[in-house]
Structures are given as structure tokens and as C-alpha cells.
Structure 1
Amino acid sequence: MSPFVRKVLTASGATAVQIADKTGGKYRIVEHLGSAHTPEDLAALVEAGKAKLRDPGQATLDFDTADKPRVASAVVKSSRSGLLIDTIRTVYERLGFDIIDDEAFFQLVAARLVEPTSKSDSVRVLDELGVDVVHRNTFLNSLVRAKDRDYRAQIAEKCFAHSVATTGISLLLYDVTTLYFEAEKEDALRQVGYSKERRVDPQIVVGLLVDRTGFPLEIGCFEGAKAETHTIIPVIKAFQDRHGVTDMVVGADAGMLSAKNLKELDDAGLRFIVGSRQTKAPHDLATHFRWNGEYTDDGQIIDTITPKGVKRLDPERVKKRREPVWSAEEHPDAWRVVWQYRRKRAMRDEQTLNLQRNRALAIIDGDKPAKKARFVKVTDEEKAFDEKAYERAMKLTGFKGYVTNIPVGTMPAAEVIGSYHDLWQVEQSFRMSKTDLRARPIFHRKRDAIEAHLTVVFTALAVSRFMQAATGASLKKIITSLRPLREFTGRVGGQDITFTPEVPRAVENMLQALEKS
């Protein structure tokens, strides 16, 4: 039977693509082309196999002699996704990560980028790519070395140097996420807590500090039950201690808004921009509402002050139409707060409030099971709709606040808002770590191993953010474009010859962009 392209489902869920033939009812693998994990991968590998079958020169080469034609067999000895692995290694070295003289660590990072899986299964991934894979035990030993030799500190130093040389660290962004474990029992680190994925498994809380482009600078690991507000200061201080940085702005969402956090950031000489809670708007905007009623222009910005703690601001201030201009000296009990009204945001807020209103009414009417819900007021075991709370919430739709300790002379209100909106970069980095890099679930048990795993993920995130920034393409697009382009080494007439793949124009442009970056 003539050779044909064969697709086989593997134990990992991938589809292996092979050139095979069938003799005497048995399949014989002529060549393994690779494993596909997406429809794009599969189509590319199948087409590569068909092309090899259509081109007889890939199987045999003819050599004419003076006497008579002689046919020499061409045997494929190996194949390799050279462009992909070499590209990852080049970026890894360009970032200076090769300061860590540990090939096993590099291979773990490369496997995490190409096909995130367990440490054991990384051997398969790398073998399919044509890498000279280290032993599985060497991977495990590398995780021990990562902790003992503090690989994370060395990687963080290089990340810092890259950010300073490119984007700069004038604005840093912070956020947290949770990573769960396939485990039944809790321990000192892996604990059940508030899960962003609404799971009840033991988890850890991970804090990530990035620059304004989303390039990672520091990562922290905390107990699963630890409150988000208690994570930002340790990560910021670790970053400061590591690099001796004092002059920077830290951006974080409203989840980090606590009087203690803001005071500690201010005491450390750091400037911050933190999202405010909408419930603070009536008091902060009392002057605006007094003189303008409920009308606000679309895009209008109100630069005013907000109390640092529970102490209220002077109620007499509303008698002056002009909002106070914040300074640390004149307002020791207040922070600067910038509020902006957007009609588009108001429409979204109103839709959300109406959904909450309908839910509350359904609970009051008994159409939905009784549970805690907004706008449900309980008095003497009687449920009623809280009309006043609903009206107050509707009045505030469209407003978003930003608390800061940066004077208006240093940063105008519009720039405060723009800087805060860069927070989507850290959110994107977390999405990448959970999807493209699959930081979770985690199968390690001991804290040292978990920390080492996060160091691998942190390093892979830095490599991927570099590649994405240079090419403008997603990590998935980069991997699926380069992975099928394999180089083949074969023996023809007693000589080893390597055949390089034909590189499509789009991939050439991608590689050129990486070279120029």
C-alpha cells in the first residue's frame, strides 16, 4: 500500500500526524510529522504531509552516472521545529535570562510557552519539537535549584532592566488572582478562600506587578484565604528592596482601596492611583450636586477631595461653588479624587441596576429562593424593596472615581484617568498566565515547589509579553505559526543533508519584527 497521511489521537488529547503505510494488515510509521493541538496546527501538518507525498524528491534522489542511472534512498533521520525553539531561545537570551545556566529551566519555560502541561508531560512536548530533552528527574532537580539559587530574583533583575530600558517604571500596575489546586485538604498555604473563579478548592492568592505595557516585574504568593488588600504592600516593598526604587506611581483597582494600604504607600514615598468605590460619590461630589443638580455633561471631570478614613470632610465646603484643590499640606485628612461621568457607562450601570432590581422583586415575591441580594430590605422578617437605595444608586450611574496622592500640578486629572485605565494590561497578563500559560491547576504540594512553578510561569510570561509586543501577534498565533515549520535531516547517498522549511511571508515578517525589537 502506498504511503499516506495518518491522524492518530494521543493520550494527551492532541492529534499526532504521521506518514505511514500498511503492509500485511499492519501499519508502519514512515515519519512522525508532529502533534496538533488546534485545527490550524492539524491542517498545517496534514498539508505538510501531503506535500511530502506529492514531491517524490523528498523520498528519493536520482544520481545519474556515466554507466546507468542509480537511485539512492533518502532516509529521514530527524525533524525539528527549529524556528520555534530558536525564536524562544533568542528572546530568552535577549532578555538576559541565560544568566541562569540551567538548560532544564529553559526547557521548562519553553514547554510552558508551547504547550503548558505537567512537568512529566513536558518531556513529550519537547521531544515532539525535536529538542534534546533532559531527563524528567533533571526537571525536578531544576525546580529545587530554582528555589535554592533564587532564580526568581535573577529573572526579576533582568525584567527590571528591560522595563527601564524600554517602557520605564514611572507607572506600575498591580492586581491579584487566585490559582486553585487539585487537592482535597487544606494546608498552611493552600487554603479555601474567596475565589475569582467561584471554586471551593484549596487555592493560593497571587499578586502580580507589571509595567504599563503589562511586562512582569514582580510576583508574590500568598495563603489562599488572605484578603486581597493585604497583598499589595508586601509585593511593592519586595520590588523596592530588590531594585532600590522610590519614585514611581502604583495603579490598582478598587479592591486594593483601604485606608491602611494608601497610608503605607504614601508613607513609603510612593504615589498611587486607586479606583474609588461608587458609594463614596455622594459625599465626594456633594458640592457638584449642590450647584448642578443631577445633570452632568458626558465626559465631565470633577477634581475634588475624599476623606482618608471615616472622618467626614467639612460640610460647609458645599457653600463654595469651586471644588477644593488638593494638597498634602492643606488637606492632611483627605486624598485627591478625580471623578468622571460617561453616558455610555451610565447606560451599562442602569442595565445592571435594573437586573438587580428585578432579582430583588422576584425574591420578595417568592419567585426566587431567598438569599442575600441588593435592594432587599428585611424588617421584622418582612421583605420589602429598598426604593431609596435604588434611587441613590441610579443617581450615581455613569460616575467612576480615582483616588490619588499626586497633586494636580504634577498630573492633570485626565492623565490620572488615562494612567488608571492602563490596568487592563495587568489583567491581560493574568489572562495569559491562566489560559496561554495555564498556570493552574497546580499539582505541586510543597511551598518551595509551588514557588518554583510560579517562577517558571513568571519567566514564560516575560518571554511571551516581549514576543507579543515585538510582533503585534498573540502568543497563540506565534506558536501556531512557527510550530509546523519543521526542518528535516536525512541521509542521502551516505551524506546527512538538512532541509529547511519554506517560510510564509507572514511568518518572515514576524521573525523580522522580533529581530528588530
Structure 2
Amino acid sequence: MFIKRCTRRKNGKQHIYWQLVESYRTARGPRHRTVAYLGELNPCEKQGWARLADQLDGNAARKAQQQMLLFETPRDDVDSEPVPDSIEIDLKSVRVTNTRDFGDVFLALTLWHTLGLDDFFANALEIGREDVPWALMACILTVARFVEPNSELHVEDTWYRRTALSSMLGVHVEKVNDSRLYRTLDKVLPLKQQIEQHLKQRVGELFTQDFDLLLYDVTSTYFEGQARANPQAQRGHSRDHRSDCKQVCIGLVVTRDGFPLAYEVFAGNRSDVTTVEAMVLQMEAKYGQANRIWVMDRGMVSEDNLAFIRSRKGFYLVGTPRRMLKSFEQHLLDQDWTEVQEGIDVKMVRSPESEETFVLCRSQDRRLKEQAMHQKFADRIETGLRNIERDLLRARKPRDRAKLERRIGRLFGHNSRASGCFKADLIEDPSLAGGYRLQWSKQEAWLAWSQLSEGCYLLRTNLTDQLPKHLWKTYIQLTDVEAVFRTEKTDLRIRPIWHQREHRVQGHILFSFLAYALWKAFQIWMERSGLGRGVRTVHEELARIKSTDVQLGTSEGKQIRISCVTQPDAAQRTLLDRLGLILPERLGRPRWIHRPDKLNEM
């Protein structure tokens, strides 16, 4: 695998771009196959790209430095008079200035190019009369969301000027303002479907992803402000425990490895179960109708949804409401369980009424957790009932029955997980001043069922040729979707949303989706490099690598500026070596701060 230089003309201008190419043999001789489009690479990334080609190819013997000669000299350096290789320096004039963040943005740009997003946006966003190409602005917004997620105002005021991106991308600090950033959201939003299709194709090329099994889940993210200009901003069930705020719901489809494939934004008051049909149709419209397997939790399940998937010749593996367990009581009592993992047992039960299969699952850890929860809520109810019973015995005047019933109802409602364990009745008793006494008892049948079913759950599928072990392992991959939501909300800070207009909110979510694509690509890259899955840890370590400008005065009174990258320490060198990346030593060539001919005129 190697990097290939290509040229093309667009709008009367010649562009040089690069492809990651592998060689293969045919009956007619060797041929080249394009693995990835790398776009117009920036010179400061050149050392990492040659090693990246080797990393993806698995060939560590290639010498990265041999590839460095292929890259063009930056246009600015061509225009300026070169600095001699040897020159006499006045040591008293040496200064180190303009220390900027480099390692984290270098990593993000590497991932941006790896996913071919530079070439995609360069082709998808037409070049007009704008000062800065929209493709570069899209890159800046995505890198900002990946590296230091915050508002567009923060990108303008603080973040961008602290990074070396102005040198790496050639976009001056003053050109990155909130107006241009907001308009970038508007420019990129119409490309949502094309972006999803591009990422699917690119990830399939890089990581050999399987797209036949899709995991689907829904989350919500809330607004700061009333968002009156956004009809999708509604109050509903908040996963963020912010019922005081309006929200939107986000339905996300990921692959079995957790790579984001597609998403849709729904109104904040829309129930999960009503989103399934729309998402299935969206995936079919993009990638055709196929025998896909949909994995969803019980919040998505309805008979209509399952019938719809069957009508589309699809398959499903879903969780079921807990009440359905009661129909399988006898199977829970039987001992023919199969251990699929330490502490996890499963058994398969064929449905007598349809071609569906049910998978009973029993988890020891989940059993202990549910036992503790039931005991906690049962203790609360018992304490509350004893308090009511004592109050009635001590009452000195008649009590209002309606108020007593509401008090009991609140007690049961606040501890609903164990409310079935108790039965409570108010009995009229003229011998008491309050007029009532409380009669309550524990329900032995509920206790027996609770002990039997604790730690158990039920899966439902129309797959007929799968072992229960495989079905269970497939279903628990839904935790990957939950991991995506956690990353989006914590590491990439998709919440809260400050935008008030619908299209700006949609753009904000799209760039969060792009940033997570970079995040997940890096996670897969780390796993294949033996570095685990701790993206943030590696990111923070590389973020300590800076770039600085070294300013040198010559014996002739002239000034030279050299933009250098700090040397990585031992821990950073280990990470870079495992990832197959080499940092550039400099950003471009040494430059005169002022042209020598102009100095002579002064």
C-alpha cells in the first residue's frame, strides 16, 4: 500500500490530491486499486500520512521518510525567498513565541483525512467567492467538536487562536468568526444524507464493517432557552432528567461495532415506538431493501412495528416488556439452561402460535441488583404503612378517608417496583377517634414470582437459525448504542443546545455526528493497535504536544521565524509508535519575518 499523487483541473486551477492505493496482481499483470481518497494533504501532516498508509496496510517495514519527498512545498514558502541552510545567528536575539496546541488537532486532522472527509467536502461544496472554502470551515467545526467541544462563539473567541490550525490549514485567525461558523452549519446541513452514505462506504473500506445487522436506539438532548422558533423543541420524557427544558429526540443507527451509520431528529414529545417505521424506511431509501437484522430494546417494541419489519422482509431481535415473562413461568422453573458466560444462562423457547422464537435470559448480577432494589422499596412501603397505621391509632379526631387513600397511593406510587408486594385497606372502626384503621399484608404470590423472575429478561426474534448464545451476544451489543450516547453527551458535549432555530439545531447535531465518526474511527484504530478503547486518555496525552515559533536574529540584523513542534516525551512516543504516526518536526520551512529587500529599503 502506498500514497499516489494525482492532479486535476477545477475552475481553471490545477489541484494536487492524494490517494491511498494498494497493488494487486491480475492475469494481465499488476494493477492498482484505490483504497482511500486523501484529498489535498497539508504539508504539516505529511510525515504522519506515510506511516498511516503502512498502519492500514500492516506493513511496518516501509520507510516513512521516503514518502516525504512526494509532497509539494507550501505555496507561501515558494513565494518567499528561501532561508539559507547555514546562517550566523545572534544568540541574544533568540526568542520562543506563539505556543499553540498541536497534538490533538493534528490527530483530528489525520482522522478527518482518513475518513476522506476533506475530499468529500471539497467536491460537495462548490467553491464560490467566499474568502475561506466551506470545506475548510466544515473541517474546523468538526475538529473543534472533537478536540474541545463548545459553542461557535468559543471557537472564534478562544479555541481557534490557541491552536496551530491557522498554520496547518492556511486559514487566518481573523477569518474564523461566528458568522462564518454559523453559515457553515447551514451550508453543510443539506449534505446530511450524502455524508452518511460517504461514511458508510469509507468505513467499509477501512475497517471491513458489517452492515447487515443494525442497532437502533433513541435518546434526547435538551435546550437552554424556549426555542420558540423550533417546532421540534417540545417537552417530553427526558433521558437527561431535565423535564423543565424543551428537548429533541435523536434516533441513531449504528453497526455491530458501534460505528454511527445514520440518525434522525424527532420532536421532543415523540415516543420511541413511533420512530421505528420512519427509520426503517430511511435506511431502505438510502441502501435498498435487504434482509437486515434490527436490534432494539423493549421501548421500541409494538406488534405493529414487528409486523412492519416482517412485511419488509426484515428480521428483528428485540427486548420485551417484563409482563410477558409471566407466560414463561414454567420454563423459568425448568433446569435446562445453557451457560453462555459466567453468571449468564439462556434457553430458547419456540412460540406455538407463530414462527417467532423467545430467548429466556438469566443474569446473576442482574438478579442481585433487582433483589436489592425490591428490598429497598419494600422496606420503604412497610415503614410508610406502619407510620399510617400508628397515626390512625393515635388520632384524636375523625380523619378524611380521601386524604388517607391519597397518602397510601403516593406511598405505593413512589415505590412502584415493590407495590405489588403489599395489599392495604382502610377499615371503618367506630372505636377509634380517627374512624379508620389500616389493614395491610404482604402478598406471598407476588413474593414468590419476584424471587423466581429476578434477574430474568426475555428476547424476541424471528430469526430461526441462530443459537441462543449468539442471539444473546447480539442483543447485548445495544450497549454500544448507549456508549455512543454517553460519548456524545459527555465527551463531545452535544447538550445543552443553545441554538434556537430548527435548521441551526439540525446543523449542530450533524457536526456532533461527524465528530463522533472521527471518535469511533480512532477507537477502532486504537483497538487494532493494542491501545484499548480509552480515546479521551490518548487524546489528552497527545494534546500536551505543542507547536512554537522560534524567532532568530541574524548577525546582519534580519529576523527568521521557524515554526517547530515540541519533541514528544517517552509516553507520547510510545503512543505515536503504536499508532504508526510520526509528527512533523516543523510547520513549513524557516521564513524571513521581513523580506531582505524590504529591510534594505527601511
What's the TM-score bracket when you normalise by the shorter of the two chains? Answer: 0.7 to 0.9
Does the CA contact (< 8 Å) of 2:297 and 2:318 recur in 1?
yes
Does the CA contact (< 8 Å) of 1:253 and 1:274 recur in 2?
yes
Amino acid at match of 1:496: R
1:118 aligns with 2:151: yes
* Corresponding residue for residue 370 of structure 1: 411
Spell out, residue by residue over 1:207-230, the C-alpha distance to the aligned partner (whole angstroms, 9 max, x if none): 111111211111111111111111
* Corresponding residue for residue 594 of structure 2: none
1:135 aligns with 2:177: yes
Deviation at 1:181, TM superposition (A): 0.7
Change in CA separation of 1:86 and 1:185 when aligned onto 2, cut-off 3 Å: closer
TM-score, structure 2 normalization = 0.65
1:474 aligns with 2:534: yes
* Corresponding residue for residue 303 of structure 1: 348
Deviation at 1:305, TM superposition (A): 3.6
* Corresponding residue for residue 138 of structure 2: 105
* Corresponding residue for residue 102 of structure 2: 82
* Corresponding residue for residue 35 of structure 1: none
Deviation at 1:120, TM superposition (A): 0.7
Deviation at 1:339, TM superposition (A): 0.6
* Corresponding residue for residue 501 of structure 1: 566
Change in CA separation of 1:208 and 1:112 when aligned onto 2, cut-off 3 Å: same
Whole-angstrom CA distance in 2 between matches of 1:235 and 1:286: 37
Change in CA separation of 1:292 and 1:508 when aligned onto 2, cut-off 3 Å: closer
Amino acid at match of 2:508: H
Whole-angstrom CA distance in 2 between matches of 1:142 and 1:356: 51
Match among 301, 315, 334 for residue 257 of structure 1: 301
* Corresponding residue for residue 235 of structure 2: 192
Amino acid at match of 1:418: K
* Corresponding residue for residue 56 of structure 2: none
Deviation at 1:130, TM superposition (A): 2.7
Deviation at 1:502, TM superposition (A): 1.2
Spell out, residue by residue over 1:178-228, the C-alpha distance to the aligned partner (whole angstroms, 9 max, x if none): 101112466621111111122221111111111112111111111111111
* Corresponding residue for residue 322 of structure 1: none
Change in CA separation of 1:185 and 1:455 when aligned onto 2, cut-off 3 Å: closer
Q: Which has the higher contact order (CA 8 A, sep 6+)?
A: 2
1:276 aligns with 2:296: no
* Corresponding residue for residue 8 of structure 2: none
Amino acid at match of 2:165: V
Q: Secondary structure at the match of 2:356?
A: strand
Spell out, residue by residue over 1:322-366, the C-alpha distance to the aligned partner (whole angstroms, 9 max, x if none): xxxxxxxxx43x621111223333222211221221222233334
* Corresponding residue for residue 172 of structure 1: 214
* Corresponding residue for residue 469 of structure 2: 414
* Corresponding residue for residue 57 of structure 1: none
| Structure 1: gaps (5+ residues) | 1-62, 307-312, 314-330
Match among 348, 365, 387 for residue 344 of structure 1: 365
Change in CA separation of 1:267 and 1:352 when aligned onto 2, cut-off 3 Å: same
Whole-angstrom CA distance in 1 between matches of 2:580 and 2:262: 26
Amino acid at match of 2:201: A
Change in CA separation of 1:185 and 1:466 when aligned onto 2, cut-off 3 Å: closer
Amino acid at match of 2:561: D
Change in CA separation of 1:385 and 1:172 when aligned onto 2, cut-off 3 Å: farther
Deviation at 1:231, TM superposition (A): 1.8
Does the CA contact (< 8 Å) of 1:273 and 1:404 recur in 2?
yes
1:216 aligns with 2:256: no
Deviation at 1:386, TM superposition (A): 5.5
Q: Secondary structure at the match of 1:430?
A: helix
Change in CA separation of 1:273 and 1:475 when aligned onto 2, cut-off 3 Å: same
Change in CA separation of 1:486 and 1:385 when aligned onto 2, cut-off 3 Å: farther
Match among 446, 449, 460 for residue 392 of structure 1: 449
Does the CA contact (< 8 Å) of 2:250 and 2:265 recur in 1?
yes
Q: Secondary structure at the match of 1:183?
A: coil
Change in CA separation of 1:514 and 1:152 when aligned onto 2, cut-off 3 Å: farther
* Corresponding residue for residue 197 of structure 2: 157
Spell out, residue by residue over 1:123-174, the C-alpha distance to the aligned partner (whole angstroms, 9 max, x if none): 2112111322422211011011122xx2322221122114433221132211
Deviation at 1:473, TM superposition (A): 4.5
* Corresponding residue for residue 453 of structure 1: 508
1:487 aligns with 2:583: no
Whole-angstrom CA distance in 2 between matches of 1:506 and 1:161: 34
Does the CA contact (< 8 Å) of 1:353 and 1:394 recur in 2?
no
Q: Secondary structure at the match of 2:237?
A: coil
| Structure 2: gaps (5+ residues) | 1-85, 123-134, 167-172, 389-406, 427-437, 527-531, 554-558, 582-602
Does the CA contact (< 8 Å) of 1:163 and 1:211 recur in 2?
no
Change in CA separation of 1:498 and 1:383 when aligned onto 2, cut-off 3 Å: farther
Change in CA separation of 1:513 and 1:276 when aligned onto 2, cut-off 3 Å: farther
Change in CA separation of 1:384 and 1:110 when aligned onto 2, cut-off 3 Å: farther
Using the aligned pairs only, state the percent identity: 21
Does the CA contact (< 8 Å) of 1:364 and 1:385 recur in 2?
no
Spell out, residue by residue over 1:96-126, the C-alpha distance to the aligned partner (whole angstroms, 9 max, x if none): 2121131111111111111111111112112
Does the CA contact (< 8 Å) of 1:64 and 1:70 recur in 2?
no
Larger Rg: 2
Whole-angstrom CA distance in 1 between matches of 2:446 and 2:425: 19
Deviation at 1:384, TM superposition (A): 4.2
1:441 aligns with 2:512: no
Does the CA contact (< 8 Å) of 1:81 and 1:482 recur in 2?
no
RMSD of the alignment, in Å? 2.8
Deviation at 1:176, TM superposition (A): 1.3
Change in CA separation of 1:360 and 1:242 when aligned onto 2, cut-off 3 Å: same
* Corresponding residue for residue 28 of structure 1: none
Does the CA contact (< 8 Å) of 1:488 and 1:500 recur in 2?
yes
Spell out, residue by residue over 1:66-116, the C-alpha distance to the aligned partner (whole angstroms, 9 max, x if none): xxx954402335333333222211211211212113111111111111111
Amino acid at match of 1:144: D
